[in-house]
């Protein structure tokens, strides 16, 4: 079974621009969670989508948004980029239907550099 | 609020040495617990997990972890490390609550360097 895939793998943007990152979950997985990884803050939860609905959200500003499509693929968007948005953005998928006993499987991430 | 603390930020061991990485969490209810590993240049991989039952869980590559509920701990162990275990290790928690759906709280990570 193919793993979680993320595109693009690397991205360079300038301040003020916006960016869209894509995540394709493992086949059959309906939940997609997004995380931001930085050296200073570590891994932080952004949001989770299930059946095209945002079920949970972390403490990030409204510039960070996401969506999920009917095939469970998910995108996250960051508008008005700031230097501090430079990070590795990770996507993880899980079945989403196992109640609280869910295991998340991670993709390779998209490394975003904001200049 | 949930939080996870990993006590060792950087550990250096020689091959064949024993490993124990500490992880403590803060959450008042039932939890799911995970250890993930990130090898250089690779993505996060699941080492092992605890949902319920036997508090001693075994994972891949000879790793094991013990859940001690009274101490809010989930320490990772390996009796004999290899050079290939050089990586960053993350402890993660998911608390049983509808408000925690799909949300893992990670510790800051421990960088393990194994000297050949």
For A41-77, how does the pLDDT look when each residue is reduced to its tens digit (9 = 90+)?
Answer: 999 999 999 999 999 999 999 999 999 999 999 999 9
Alpha carbon distance B78, A27 (integer Å): 33
Q: In this structure, what token pair is assigned to residue B69?
A: 């509920």
Residue B10 has pLDDT above 90, yes or no: yes
Instruction: Inspect the interface and report whether the beta carbons of B102 and A33 lie closer than 8 Å.
Output: yes
φ/ψ of residue B60, rounded to 5: -80, 160
Q: Residues A74-99: pLDDT tens digits?
A: 999 999 999 999 999 999 999 987 66
Output the six-digit token pair for B92: 């993660």
Question: Which chain B residues are closer than 8 Å to A2 by Cβ?
Answer: none
- Residue of B41, B103, B106 to mutate for A, most A C-beta atoms under 10 A: B103
Closest alpha carbon to B90 in B16, B14, B8:
B8
For A19-34, the pLDDT digits (tens) are 999 999 999 999 999 9
Kindly state the percentage of chain A with pLDDT values over 70.
97
Whether A60 has its CB under 8 Å from any CB of chain B: the answer is no
**Straight-line distance from the first to the last Cα atom of chain A, in angstroms, rounded to the nearest whole number:** 37
Q: What pLDDT does residue B98 have?
A: 73
> Which of A42, A90, A96 is the closest to B109 by Cβ?
A42
């Amino acid at each position: 079974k193919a793993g979680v895939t993320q595109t693009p793998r690397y991205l360079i943007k300038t301040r003020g621009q916006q960016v869209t990152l894509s995540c394709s979950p493992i086949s059959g997985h309906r939940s997609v969670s997004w995380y931001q990884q930085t050296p200073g803050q570590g891994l932080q939860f952004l949001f989770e989508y299930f059946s095209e609905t945002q079920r949970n959200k972390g403490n990030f500003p409204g510039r960070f948004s996401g969506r999920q499509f009917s095939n469970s693929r998910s995108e996250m968007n960051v508008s008005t980029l700031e230097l501090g948005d430079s990070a590795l953005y990770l996507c993880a998928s899980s079945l989403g239907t196992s109640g609280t006993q869910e295991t998340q499987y991670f993709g390779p991430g998209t490394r975003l550099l904001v200049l | 609020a949930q939080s996870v603390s990993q006590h060792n930020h950087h550990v250096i061991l020689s091959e064949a040495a024993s490993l124990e990485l500490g992880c403590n969490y803060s959450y008042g209810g039932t939890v799911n617990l995970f250890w993930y590993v990130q090898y250089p240049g690779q993505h996060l991989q699941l080492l092992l997990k605890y949902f319920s039952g036997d508090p001693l869980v075994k994972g891949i590559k000879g790793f094991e972890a013990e859940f001690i509920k009274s101490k809010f701990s989930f320490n990772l162990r390996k009796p004999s490390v290899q050079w290939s275990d050089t990586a960053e290790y993350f402890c993660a928690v998911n608390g049983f609550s509808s408000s925690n759906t799909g949300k893992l709280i990670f510790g800051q990570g421990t960088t393990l360097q194994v000297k050949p």
